[in-house]
């Protein structure tokens, strides 16, 4: 069977994302890539932990951070992870329209998160907390900004993926791609959980 052919309920494999060698390779390769990404964020976290109290004359994290706003952003992103799970469940049941719907919700929630983050950053800059104001500023924007860039990339990714495959159903070629995006999105979500804890909660308690 050609990998680009639309799957029917009759020939639908149990794990369409791993039904071809190419799919298996992508699946494993992407897990490994996320292992590397973990080191990348760990290094950024380490840098932030080393410099988070170095705010000099500028406002400290305790003065800056507003937990209600961050809580809202967290809820948006956690919910988007849930909706991407629903999308993957639809993938496994060969329900392509439902998959598209859930991924669009995921995308919109991601956009909402990004909007809040941009609002938050602009607010901080007005408070005098900028990328160049102190070592705290540099490390804060690097860590949180790297995460934000990952969210942005994920949004571009899923938009391209949905657009390209809008009328193609689920195939052995695109099933691994949907699945990998969901993996990526969960990873970005987990990183945010750590950012929420290490940056915002620990920032608030001093």
CB of 18 to another protein, least distance (A): 11
Q: Could you say which of 89, 164, 166, 197 contacts another protein (CB under 8 A)?
A: 164
Separation between Cα atoms, residue 73 and residue 78, nearest integer Å: 9
Q: How many residues bind another protein (CB under 8 A)?
A: 38
Q: How far apart are CA 137 and CA 128, in angstroms?
A: 10
Answer yes or no: are the C-beta atoms of 178 and 103 closer than 8 Å: yes
**In the set 6, 12, 13, 37, which binds another protein (CB under 8 A)?**
37
Q: Which of 8, 40, 62, 67 binds another protein (CB under 8 A)?
A: 40
Ranges of beta strands (E only) in 108-206 are: none
| For helices 96-126 and 175-195, angle between their N-to-C axes, nearest 10 degrees | 30
Handedness of CA 155, 159, 160, 162 (dihedral sign): positive
Give me the least distance between CB of 76 and another protein, in Å please.
25
Shortest Å, Cβ 57 to another protein = 10
Taking CB under 8 A as the criterion, the residue among 2, 97, 126, 206 binding another protein is 2
Residue with Cβ nearer another protein (119 or 153)? 153
Could you tell me which residues come within 8 angstroms of residue 63 by beta carbon, excluding any fewer than 6 positions away? Answer: none
Q: With H, G, I as helix, E, B as strand and everything else as coil, classify residue 171.
A: strand
Q: Does 199 bind another protein (CB under 8 A)?
A: no
Tokens of 76: 């948006």
Closest distance of CB 85 from another protein, Å:
23
Q: Contacts with another protein in 124-143 (CB under 8 A)?
A: 131-132, 134-139, 142
Check residue 39 for interaction with another protein (CB under 8 A): yes
Residue 55 as a binder of another protein (CB under 8 A): the answer is: yes
How far apart CA 166 and CA 158 sit, in angstroms, is 11
The answer to whether 201 and 48 are in contact (CB under 8 A) is: no
Positions that interact with another protein (CB under 8 A): 2-4, 21, 24-25, 28-29, 32-33, 35-37, 39-40, 43-44, 46-47, 50-51, 54-56, 131-132, 134-139, 142, 156, 160-161, 164, 173
């Amino acid at each position: 069977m050609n990998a680009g052919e639309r799957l029917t309920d009759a020939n639908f494999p149990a794990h369409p994302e791993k039904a071809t060698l190419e799919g298996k390779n992508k699946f494993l390769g992407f897990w490994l890539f996320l292992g590397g990404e973990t080191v990348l964020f760990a290094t950024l976290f380490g840098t932030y932990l080393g410099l988070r109290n170095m705010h000099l004359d500028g406002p400290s994290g305790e003065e800056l951070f507003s937990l209600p706003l961050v809580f809202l952003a967290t809820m948006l992103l956690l919910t988007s992870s849930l909706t991407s799970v629903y999308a993957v469940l639809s993938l496994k049941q060969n329900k392509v329209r439902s998959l598209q719907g859930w991924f669009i919700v995921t995308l919109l929630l991601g956009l909402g998160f990004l909007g809040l983050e941009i609002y938050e950053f602009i607010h901080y800059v007005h408070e005098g907390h900028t990328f160049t104001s102190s070592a705290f500023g540099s490390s804060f924007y690097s860590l949180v900004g790297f995460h934000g860039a990952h969210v942005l990339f994920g949004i571009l990714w899923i938009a391209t993926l949905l657009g390209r495959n809008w009328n193609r159903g689920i195939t052995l070629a695109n099933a691994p791609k949907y699945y990998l995006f969901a993996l990526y999105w969960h990873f970005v979500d987990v990183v945010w959980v750590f950012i929420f804890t290490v940056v915002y909660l620990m920032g608030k308690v001093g």
